[in-house]
Structure 1
Amino acid sequence: MENSQAVEAGNYVLVDYTVTLEDGIAFDTTVKEQALEAGIYDEEKKYTPLFFRADARQVIKGLDRGVLGMKEGEEKTLIIPPVEAYGEYKAYLAQDIPLERLELQAPPEVGEEITTPGGRDVKVLALTDTHATLDFNHELAGKTLIMKVKLVSVIR
């Protein structure tokens, strides 16, 4: 193939990846076999390479920049700090919300994920008779991601 050149900003790429946290437990992958091995297989998910334009802010910054310079067929492990992934955890995004504003049929449980009337998926951190403390941070905020990436194809 002609695609032996390194990925440059603006190239379209296809990558397979498997993402773990620092504990080594995989939580997302584009590879069916990896999903089965990690016990995270979802029969409704299509396990196909991710398509995006390199260095165009279509994916998290660590992956966006991490593919630059890779060649077709190359594999590498990216260590992506929170600032290049889903941001630092922000304590002010954990907020006490009156239960009546949540429009739920029954009070939520601590640890449960609920959807707010505005459509945000949030985690319940604490609960009283009148309020729920909800975490509006992304579930991966503050986490370092370990991403094993294989460059499947470069489209110029």
Structure 2
Amino acid sequence: MKILICSDSHGLTEELIELKKRHGDMDYYIHCGDSELSADHPALDGFQVVKGNCDFGADFPNQLALNVAGHKLLVTHGHLYNVKSSLTSLRYKALEENANIVCFGHSHVVGCEMVDDILFINPGSIRIPVLRKEKTYVILEIKNEQKTVQVYEYGKDTLFTETF
């Protein structure tokens, strides 16, 4: 199972289309909010999308729960859980939803970490990265219980890989 995860594209369209072309073999495409596009915009075709704090008037849900390869994925933007301060509120939400993988954005800081057997993934931003210069997105590959997170620089190659 392969899942492309991006966030905080803030109005970009061609870049989203290019991600789908470059990685056409994904089982899912997830956008963690702040696309600043309408729900029917062609650049979002094929994406599971949640609403971010900059998605005014967009008809997206605040969160999604997906069952994938025996795992429960929780997708949210993160602004409703104060992710710029800590993962504590989001961790509680994941526990409440019985999610063992959480995808979120909002901070524009790419990263992945395991907390209490829950994998938290922030793909960073493909428009305005924070704490690094590279514009990033993530591919999550799930094989049985093994989860591999590959962080990509947009338009280039893999920056780093983590396995959990």
TM-score for the superposition, normalised by structure 2: 0.26
Q: Report which of the two structures shows the higher radius of gyration computed on alpha carbons.
A: 1
The TM-score with structure 1 as length reference comes to 0.27
Q: Which has the higher contact order (CA 8 A, sep 6+)?
A: 1
